[in-house]
Amino acid sequence: MDTLLVATLSFIGFIVAYNTYGKWLGSKIFNLDKNNLVPSKGLQDNIDYCPTKKEVLFGHHFTSIAGTGPIVGPAIAIFWGWLPALLWVLIGSIFIGAVHDFGALVISLRNRGQTLGEVAGRMISPGAKILFLLILFFSLTIVLGIFGLVIAVIFAIYQEAVLSVWVEIPIAISIGFWAYKKKKNLLIPSIIALILLYCAIYVGAYLLPINTGLPLFSGDFKSAVVAWTIVLFIYCFIASVLPVWTLLQPRDYINSHQLMVAIILLVLGVLVASITGQASISEAAPAIASEVPEDAPPIFPFLFITIACGAISGFHCLVSSGTSSKQVSCESHATYIGYGAMLLEGALAVLVIIACTAGVGMGLFQKTGTGASYSYEQKIVNGEAVTGREAWANKYKSKIEAKVAPKTGKLILGQNGKTVTTGGWKNHSLGQKVGAFIEGGGNLISSLGLPLKLSIAIIAVLVASFAATTLDTATRLQRYVVQEIGRSTHMSFLENKYTATFVAVGFGLMTALLPGPKGPGSGGLILWPVFGATNQLLACLAFLVILFYLRRKNKPIWFVVIPFVIMLIMPACGLTWSMIGWFKSQQWLLFIVALLIQVLQVWMLFLAFKVWKEAKGNYPEPEPYPEKSIISDDARSC
């Protein structure tokens, strides 16, 4: 019952936070007004600026900010114990992450839908704008590279997820034309789309795994990952230049329904597994780990960097100010979209923590067979099923060959009998991180009576769909950043959306396929340690812009100061700690990139400090909307 108690109290906390703190921010601090003209109507072009129903936009916004972030982060962080991870998700998402996303959305809404990088040029200084854009470009390049690899790895490991992810694309395009060209209601088509999606999951799991009969994708694991990565980036180029209503919005709307079904199944799975005694978070994994992997960094400050999405992530400010602000049809919807979506992501992160502990503790299963005939069988060791903490430790332990000492029961290495813990930080692969949630979540859902094979397929499709959403949204965001860099540096050729998209996709693909010790693609993961801290430093810079906006508007800033300081200190300390290790081990690429990020950060803070005093009450109004956009009476209506 402890698992059920953790889930229930967490969800109640999110609901209370939305109806108190979130609504207070909207009404008393940002003074949201449904009569204010929004960018989607003032600059409507039906390509990037497109008024959208709040339910549809919520789906786009949530699936874009979520991706695999709230899955990978908690799956790693429970090395330190599930309780610190849970507390950071709860406190972080309510008081830091949701404030960050909400503030970025409102500021962009009131500045013609501009990204925070562009707004920084007016709120702080023109130099700050260039620095912000450079940090954004670097961060998004790594996002594109890593998320491309995540989806490729999922496709290579869980072939049952492939068919439904790709089938979703033509379905979404059909719904887009139905809603925006035919002006029809979305509810019935979206329900039909959801049914088709789950039919495709069944077909992919039992009848037609995509690795069958396709030479590019049925070879060895590394070749399949490379092939899928290239295909995914070709798709990203096409998806990111299409009008948002053709693919981005309807697909994300379908994904949001898929998410709700998966969350309901997971919650019901937690309920049934807890009541029947199949799952117990306290028995499956330690609340606070007494031992951590020898190569793991300290919990302070790395817990606050490892769990980004689900608590606070700088990437979210790009979605809020990059795509979502251009689609909000009414300013009063900002609380629902900006604050509410972040709390839902926090709820997803809580479910991930439960799946990676109590879910994995329900037992380890191994795939047997090939093609459509494979199945999952309980893993048996010495005649007994692997369950509880043994299952959790087995899933998370290093791949290093070791044996158990007969007296102490500890794992030992080599002739010296060196003691190791049940985990390896550096040896914990991307597949393991994602797989812990997929298989743990599959275990929970299977407690409802669904076949384990189908349950795992449902969660695998959920993860792949989320990652794909983030991937093409990030490509579109990177296109905006490249175009802004082009305008700011007077390189007009970069302002063309096709050229900018080509640059975005090209750098992302190169990052994803960087050669490394494990072949093509493994080099891209080398930059992942830099991204964690850089992403959180980006959140710090977003808070800096929010601070300046509030100061120039003569608004209270106390509720932003503490999150700003936390997101300044934690990633800066983490990056400095890592840089010392990279310097000692002569990992010069990581060291130089991290040093560059630190310099850009300090430089921007210096520029902000210089103008802080004179900023009070001095708000630079944005350029007005074209006259034609405000002569219609319904331009301001919701």
∠ CA 344-300-137, rounded to 5°: 60
Domains defined for the chain, CATH in brackets = 2-366+432-635 (1.20.1740.10), 367-428 (no CATH)
Provide the mean pLDDT of the chain. Answer: 84
Q: Mind listing the pLDDT tens digit for each residue in 357-392?
A: 999 999 888 878 766 677 888 888 777 888 888 888
Chain centroid, CA 581 distance in Å: 27
Bond preceding residue 301 cis, omega within 30 of 0: yes
Alpha carbon distance 230, 233 (integer Å): 5
List the end-to-end C-alpha distance of the chain, in Å, as a whole number. 45
Residue 297 pLDDT: 83
Lookup: tokens for 304: 């606050």
Query: Rounded distance, CA 70 to CA 59, Å?
Result: 16
The segment with the largest mean pLDDT, out of 28-32, 167-171, 181-185, is 28-32
Select from 120, 104, 102, 110 the least CA-distant residue to 39. Answer: 110
Residue 519 scores a pLDDT above 80: no
Quote the DSSP letter at residue 296: P
pLDDT in tens, 121-170: 889 988 888 888 888 898 888 888 888 887 888 787 777 778 888 888 89
Asked whether 505 and 233 are in contact (CB, 8 A), the reply is yes
pLDDT digits 0-9 by tens, 283-299: 999 999 877 766 678 89
- 378 CB contacts (<8 Å, ≥6 apart)? 363, 364, 365, 385, 386
* pTM given for the model: 0.88
The pLDDT tens digits of the residues spanning 214-254 come to: 445 555 667 778 888 888 999 999 988 888 888 877 888 88
Cα separations in angstroms, 2 against 5, 281, 387: 5, 7, 17
